[in-house]
Amino acid sequence: MNEEKTAVLLMRENPSKSPDPYKMDELRGLAKAAGYKVLAEIKQRRERDHRFQIGMGKIAEAQSYHPTKLIFYNPLSPSQVFNIRSEFSAQVLDRFNLILEIFASRASTREAKLQVDLARLSYDAPQVRSELALKTRGEQPGFRGAGAYEQSMYHDIRGRMAKIKSELKDVETMSEDRRQKRREQGFDLVALAGYTNAGKSTLLNALTGSGVEAQDQPFTTLSPTTRALEIKGRRVLLTDTVGFIDDLPHFLIKAFHTTLSEIAEADLVLLVADLSDPAELLHSKMVASHKALWDCQVTAPIVTVLNKVDRLSEGEASMKEELIRDLAPNPVMVSAFSGSGLVELKECIYQRLQPLQEYQIRLPNTSEGLSRLSRLYETAELLSVSYGEELVVKLRGKGEAVARLKIESSDSQAKD
């Protein structure tokens, strides 16, 4: 039998910054997504306490609810975790570890599992190293030789990290080969990116008629899912990806490099935002999303998709659009629920894709030539074929697809 997991949420607000009411909302959403029943939420505006992060009185108040875990918004140092555990006999998590807990419980593919393990080890490594530094300095002498245990643990962590990285490299190479193959087959690769819970998976379902899991909670999607759709004759592969979240350590983004490469390597990125979020929150999520796209080293064009317009009046929608104009110059407003704006979105995708080019290719009029001709139908649009001594084929397609055709057909000539 599973015992109910309970939590009290704690957040220390920096007195020099204006309070952000949405951070606690987000932490509550994360705690619920990890399966915790939230018993209480405690905030305190003060400078950081070096021993406990927040005031001792607040921790005692939190402990009076007897939760399974105290969950902190603020990152905790190893010594703060140690102090809170020993002084209050409390189990603690910070927001980053909470996110990792969600990821670990949802990771279903090998790629996702490897990435979660890498993130966990990347988090542990510097902590073990700092404990090691303390012990070898003689401040906390180890039992048998200064920090011998930490030393072997640190080496073990580094070794496991190296192994996972090399396994992930293999997965990445396979993904890269698959993307290349798909491009050669004439597909355009479009990635759905954006803050978690913005509606990326629902939009994928609405555009492609699929049934990918979508739920009102953060991090429902962890692994990329790709579905095909056709827009005015162009064959598009749309990939749903893991959502972004604010204030993530850089190494977590690095650990998810393999999954995020689906965004980095796309021909076009749809940046999805939830227009029904309060204006300030919408703005800060857009900033966080752009930072994440920057971290992913996206070079492809970006189309901002403002989703969930069904939740707003027309006036509210245009007021919000105006507020984020600096971050989203030409957005498309849609509702993945009602389907409004999807025609415009498809048109926008079509307009932003690399234009198709027309080519002429000559093939021998033999059974081999005819077999190649039949394969051309799979990669490009055939405009005309004239049958003589040779087959003269005029076709329209994507650069990569046609480049391969040109290599295959020894005699080819670009028209424009």
Ligand X SMILES: Nc1nc2c(ncn2[C@@H]2O[C@H](COP(=O)(O)OP(=O)(O)OP(=O)(O)O)[C@@H](O)[C@H]2O)c(=O)[nH]1
Residue 67 touches which of ligand X, Mg ion, none (CB < 5 to 8 A by kind)? Answer: none
- What is the radius of gyration, based on Cα positions, of the chain? 26
Contacts with Mg ion in 159-218 (CB under 5 A)?
200-201
User: Which listed range, 69-77, 137-145, 247-255, 334-342, lies at the site for ligand X (CB under 6 A)?
Assistant: 334-342
Q: How far is the CB of 311 from ligand X (least distance, A)?
A: 5
| Options 83, 208, 221, 379; binder of Mg ion; rule CB under 5 A | 221
d(CA 231, CA 402): 19
Contacts with ligand X in 290-329 (CB under 6 A)?
307-308, 310-311
Is 277 exposed, middle or buried, given 0-12, 13-18 or 19+ CB atoms closer than 10 A?
A: buried
| Options 185, 259, 335, 409; binder of ligand X; rule CB under 6 A | 335
Paired tokens of 377:
């139908």
Q: Closest CB to ligand X among 196 and 226?
A: 196
Q: How far is the CB of 294 from ligand X (least distance, A)?
A: 19
Q: Closest CB to Mg ion among 40 and 107?
A: 107
Size of the site for Mg ion (CB under 5 A): 4
| Options 34, 92, 248, 336; binder of ligand X; rule CB under 6 A | 336
d(CA 84, CA 70): 10
Q: How far is the CB of 257 from ligand X (least distance, A)?
A: 18
109 contributes a contact to ligand X by CB under 6 A: no
- Contact status, residue 71 vs residue 95, Cβ threshold 8 Å: yes
d(CA 397, CA 184): 10
Q: Closest CB to Mg ion among 135 and 200?
A: 200
Residues 239-258, one symbol each (x = binds ligand X by CB under 6 A, - = not), give: ----x---------------
| Options 97, 196, 239, 409; binder of ligand X; rule CB under 6 A | 196
Q: How far is the CB of 262 from Mg ion (least distance, A)?
A: 13
Contacts with Mg ion in 295-324 (CB under 5 A)?
none
Q: Closest CB to Mg ion among 221 and 276?
A: 221
179 contributes a contact to ligand X by CB under 6 A: no
Q: Closest CB to ligand X among 74 and 202?
A: 202
| Options 115, 122, 202, 208; binder of ligand X; rule CB under 6 A | 202
Contacts with Mg ion in 106-165 (CB under 5 A)?
none
User: Which listed range, 36-44, 333-341, 346-354, 392-400, lies at the site for ligand X (CB under 6 A)?
Assistant: 333-341
Q: How far is the CB of 68 from ligand X (least distance, A)?
A: 24
| Options 80, 97, 185, 201; binder of ligand X; rule CB under 6 A | 201
Residue 281 touches which of Mg ion, ligand X, none (CB < 5 to 8 A by kind)? Answer: none
Q: Closest CB to Mg ion among 23 and 200?
A: 200
d(CA 338, CA 305): 15
Q: Closest CB to ligand X among 111 and 400?
A: 111
198 contributes a contact to ligand X by CB under 6 A: yes
- Enumerate binding residues for Mg ion (CB under 5 A): 200-201, 220-221
- Enumerate binding residues for ligand X (CB under 6 A): 196-202, 214-216, 218-221, 243, 307-308, 310-311, 335-337
